[in-house]
C-alpha cells in the first residue's frame, strides 16, 4: 500500500514565511543517517527568535550590564534599554497612561504575581475549566470558582455570566486563545460580563498576543499576562500589564534589592510597582528581546498574520481529513476564529510515539501530551494525550505538506524504525541522531533527557 505526497496533488497556492526566523535553515538529522530541513510546527510551545531579535541582541550584548545599579556607561545603556523596552511593551498592548508593565519570567510568573495582588475582601476569582494550568492553579490559593464550558461559545458565555453574578467576584481570569485548540474567545463579550457584575478581568495572552493585536485600553481589559518565548523573543522574559492600584497595594512578589526604597534592621519601605515586584537584577536581554519582537510584529500590515496562519491551518486540516484515523479536536461547535494551531489524535497510535516518529524519521517537531491543560484534554476525549501542530510567521506550505505526507506514510506503511518507552518518553531505539556541534557544550540526545512530570506516559 502506498500514499501520494501532498506535493504531487493539485495543491493550493504557495504560502511563504512572513518574517525571517532563527531556525529557517536548521537541519534535523534522521535515524537513517540522512538529514533534512527541520520543520518547526511547535510555535505554540516556544516560537523561534525573529532575525530582528537576534540582531538586536547581538548589538546589545557588548553593553550588557547591571540595570539600575551603576554609573558606568554599560550600566547606563542597559538601564535605558530596559526601561525603553518596558515602554514599547506597554505601547504594543495599548496600555493606559497609568498602567504598570511588570517584567516577569513568563506568563506563569505573571499570573502568580497577580494572584498575590487580588484583594482578599474583593470577592472570588472565576475561571473556565479549559485554562492552561498557569491560569488555573495560581487562583486556587484563594477563593476560586471554576466554570465548566458548554458545547458552544454562546452557552459558555451564558454560564460564565451566571456564575459571576451568583456571588461577589473580584476577577474573571480567562484565556484569550486556547493553547490546546487555538480557538479564540470573544474578548469584548468577556469584558462586558466582568463589568456588568463589578469584576475586573485578566486575560492570559500567552497564545493570543503572538498572533493578534490586542489593545487592552480600547477593550477595557484590566490585566494581560504574556510570555516572550511564545512571541519570538528568547531569553526568558514575560510581562504583566495592567492597573496600578492592586499592584501597588500587594506584597512584594520577590523580596530583595531593587524592590525597596529603604531598609533598616527592623523595617522596610517597599517601592511602588513595577519595581516593587521586580526584585533582583532584571533580565535586560529578555526585555529587549520581547520589545524588539513586538516592534517587528507591529510592522506587519493589519490582518496579514491572521490570514497567513488561517491559510496554513486550513491547508493542514484539509490534508489531515484525507489521512485515515486522524481526528482534529475542537472545544466549541460554534467557534469561528482561531490561530495557527491544529490539534489531533491518530486512532490506534500513542500520540507520544507518533511525535517521536515524526521527529526521528521526518525531521518534524510537534508537541504531544496534555499541553498543561489536563481538564480540557480530558474533556476532549484525549486523556492520554494528543498531537499539536502550531504555526507562525516563519511557517510555509512545505511544512504543512511534510506533516501530512508523514502521517499518510504512517497510516499506509507504518513506522520504519523501532521505538521504546524510556523515562516516560518515546524515543527511537537505537537513537542514531547526532547532536549539533555547539561550541563549549557537549550534549547528547536520547533516553537521558527527562520528560515533564505532567506529560510522562
Q: What is the pLDDT of residues 154-190, one digit of tens each?
A: 999 999 999 999 999 999 999 999 999 999 999 999 9
What was the pLDDT predicted at 16? 97
- How are beta strands 419-422 and 386-390 bridged, if at all? unpaired
**And the C-alpha cell for 370?**
496534555
Contact 258, 270 (CB under 8 A): no
Higher-pLDDT residue of 436 and 252 is: 252
* CA 266 to centroid of chain Cα atoms: 42
Q: Compute the average pLDDT of residues 231-243.
A: 97
Whether residue 134 has pLDDT greater than 70: yes
Helix or strand (DSSP H, E) at 211:
none
Helix or strand (DSSP H, E) at 107:
helix 107-117
How many whole angstroms separate alpha carbon 398 and alpha carbon 312?
Answer: 10
**And the C-alpha cell for 148?**
465548566
Sequence-ordered strand ranges (E) for 186-317? 200-204, 223-227, 238-242, 260-263, 268-270
* pLDDT, tens only, 274-317: 999 999 999 999 999 999 999 999 999 999 999 999 999 999 99
How many whole angstroms separate alpha carbon 240 and alpha carbon 290?
Answer: 13
What was the pLDDT predicted at 89? 99
Contact 123, 325 (CB under 8 A): no
CA end-to-end distance (rounded Å), the chain: 31
**Statement: the pTM of the whole predicted model exceeds 0.85:** yes
How many whole angstroms separate alpha carbon 62 and alpha carbon 228?
Answer: 22
* pLDDT, tens only, 239-284: 999 999 999 999 999 999 999 999 999 999 999 999 999 999 999 9
* pLDDT, tens only, 328-360: 999 999 999 999 999 999 999 999 999 999 999
Mean pLDDT of all residues in the chain? 95
Cis check for the bond before 441: say yes or no (omega within 30 of 0).
no
Going from the N-terminus, what domains does the chain have, and what CATH number goes with each?
Answer: 15-49+302-428 (3.90.1150.10), 52-298 (3.40.640.10)
Percent of the chain with pLDDT over 90: 90
**And the C-alpha cell for 422?**
524510556
* CA 86 to centroid of chain Cα atoms: 20
What was the pLDDT predicted at 5? 39
* pLDDT, tens only, 32-60: 999 999 999 999 999 999 999 999 999 99
374: Cα within 13 Å, side-chain hemisphere: 8
Contact 40, 365 (CB under 8 A): yes
Those residues with Cβ within 8 angstroms of residue 199's Cβ, 6 or more apart along the chain or in another chain: 123, 126, 164, 169, 170, 171, 172
Split at pLDDT 50, 70, 90, the class of 143 is: very high
Alpha-carbon distances, residue 369 vs 359, 365, 373 (angstroms): 15, 13, 10
What was the pLDDT predicted at 457? 46
**And the C-alpha cell for 201?**
478581568
Helix or strand (DSSP H, E) at 390:
strand 386-390
Q: Would you give the DSSP letter of residue 180?
A: T
Closest C-alpha to 339, from 176, 156, 201: 176
How many whole angstroms separate alpha carbon 159 and alpha carbon 166?
Answer: 11
Bridge partners (DSSP) listed for residue 342: 389
Bridge partners (DSSP) listed for residue 320: none
What length is written for the chain? 457
Split at pLDDT 50, 70, 90, the class of 421 is: very high
**And the C-alpha cell for 271?**
517601592
What was the pLDDT predicted at 4? 34
Contact 19, 50 (CB under 8 A): yes
Q: Annotated catalytic sites, by residue? A: 372
Whether residue 29 has pLDDT greater than 60: yes
Q: Compute the average pLDDT of residues 316-334.
A: 98
Helix or strand (DSSP H, E) at 357:
helix 351-362
Closest C-alpha to 277, from 94, 59, 111, 158: 111
What was the pLDDT predicted at 448? 58
Alpha-carbon distances, residue 372 vs 44, 202, 345, 375, 417 (angstroms): 12, 19, 17, 9, 29
Closest C-alpha to 45, from 234, 230, 290, 210: 230
How many whole angstroms separate alpha carbon 257 and alpha carbon 33?
Answer: 52
Whether residue 453 has pLDDT greater than 80: no
Split at pLDDT 50, 70, 90, the class of 141 is: very high
What was the pLDDT predicted at 437? 74
Whether residue 8 has pLDDT greater than 50: no
Contact 40, 268 (CB under 8 A): no
Amino acid at each position: 500500500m502506498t500514499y501520494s505526497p501532498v506535493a504531487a496533488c493539485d495543491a493550493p497556492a504557495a504560502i511563504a514565511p512572513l518574517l525571517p526566523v532563527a531556525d529557517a535553515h536548521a537541519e534535523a538529522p534522521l535515524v537513517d543517517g540522512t538529514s533534512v530541513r527541520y520543520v518547526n510546527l511547535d510555535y505554540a510551545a516556544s516560537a523561534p527568535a525573529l532575525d530582528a531579535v537576534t540582531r538586536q541582541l547581538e548589538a546589545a550584548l557588548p553593553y550588557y550590564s547591571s540595570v539600575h545599579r551603576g554609573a558606568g556607561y554599560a550600566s547606563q545603556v542597559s538601564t535605558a534599554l530596559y526601561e525603553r523596552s518596558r515602554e514599547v511593551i506597554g505601547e504594543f498592548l495599548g496600555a493606559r497612561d497609568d498602567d504598570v508593565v511588570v517584567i516577569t519570567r513568563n506568563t506563569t510568573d505573571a499570573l502568580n504575581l497577580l494572584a498575590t495582588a487580588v484583594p482578599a475582601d474583593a470577592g472570588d476569582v472565576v475561571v473556565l475549566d479549559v485554562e492552561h494550568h498557569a491560569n488555573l492553579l495560581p487562583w486556587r490559593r484563594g477563593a476560586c470558582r471554576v466554570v465548566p464550558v458548554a458545547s458552544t461559545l454562546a452557552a459558555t458565555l451564558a454560564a460564565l455570566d451566571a456564575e459571576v453574578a451568583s456571588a461577589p467576584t473580584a476577577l474573571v481570569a480567562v484565556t484569550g486563545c486556547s493553547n490546546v485548540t487555538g480557538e479564540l474567545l470573544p474578548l469584548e463579550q468577556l469584558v462586558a460580563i466582568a463589568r456588568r457584575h463589578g469584576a475586573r478581568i485578566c486575560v492570559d495572552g500567552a497564545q493570543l498576543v503572538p498572533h493578534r493585536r490586542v489593545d487592552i485600553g480600547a477593550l477595557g481589559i484590566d490585566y494581560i499576562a504574556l510570555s516572550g518565548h511564545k512571541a519570538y523573543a528568547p531569553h526568558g522574559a514575560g510581562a504583566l500589564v495592567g492597573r496600578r492600584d492592586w499592584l501597588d497595594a500587594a506584597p512584594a512578589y520577590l523580596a530583595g534589592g531593587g524592590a525597596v526604597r529603604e531598609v533598616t534592621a527592623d523595617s522596610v519601605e517597599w517601592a511602588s510597582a513595577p519595581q516593587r515586584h521586580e526584585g533582583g537584577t532584571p533580565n535586560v536581554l529578555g526585555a529587549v528581546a520581547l520589545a524588539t519582537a513586538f516592534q517587528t510584529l507591529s510592522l506587519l500590515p493589519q490582518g496579514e498574520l491572521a490570514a497567513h496562519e488561517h491559510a496554513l491551518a486550513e491547508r493542514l486540516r484539509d490534508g489531515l481529513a484525507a489521512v485515515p484515523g486522524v481526528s482534529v479536536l475542537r472545544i466549541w461547535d460554534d467557534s469561528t476564529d482561531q490561530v495557527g494551531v491544529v490539534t489531533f489524535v491518530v486512532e490506534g497510535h500513542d500520540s507520544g510515539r507518533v511525535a517521536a516518529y515524526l521527529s526521528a524519521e521526518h525531521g518534524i517537531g510537534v508537541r504531544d501530551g496534555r499541553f498543561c491543560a489536563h481538564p480540557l484534554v480530558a474533556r476532549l476525549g484525549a486523556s492520554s494525550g494528543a498531537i499539536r501542530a502550531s504555526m507562525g510567521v516563519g511557517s510555509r506550505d512545505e511544512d504543512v505538506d511534510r506533516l501530512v505526507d508523514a502521517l499518510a506514510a504512517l497510516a499506509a506503511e507504518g513506522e520504519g524504525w523501532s521505538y521504546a518507552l524510556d523515562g516516560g518518553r518515546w524515543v527511537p531505539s537505537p537513537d542514531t541522531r547526532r547532536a549539533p556541534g555547539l561550541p563549549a557544550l557537549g550534549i547528547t540526545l536520547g533516553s537521558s533527557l527527562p520528560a515533564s512530570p505532567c506529560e510522562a506516559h
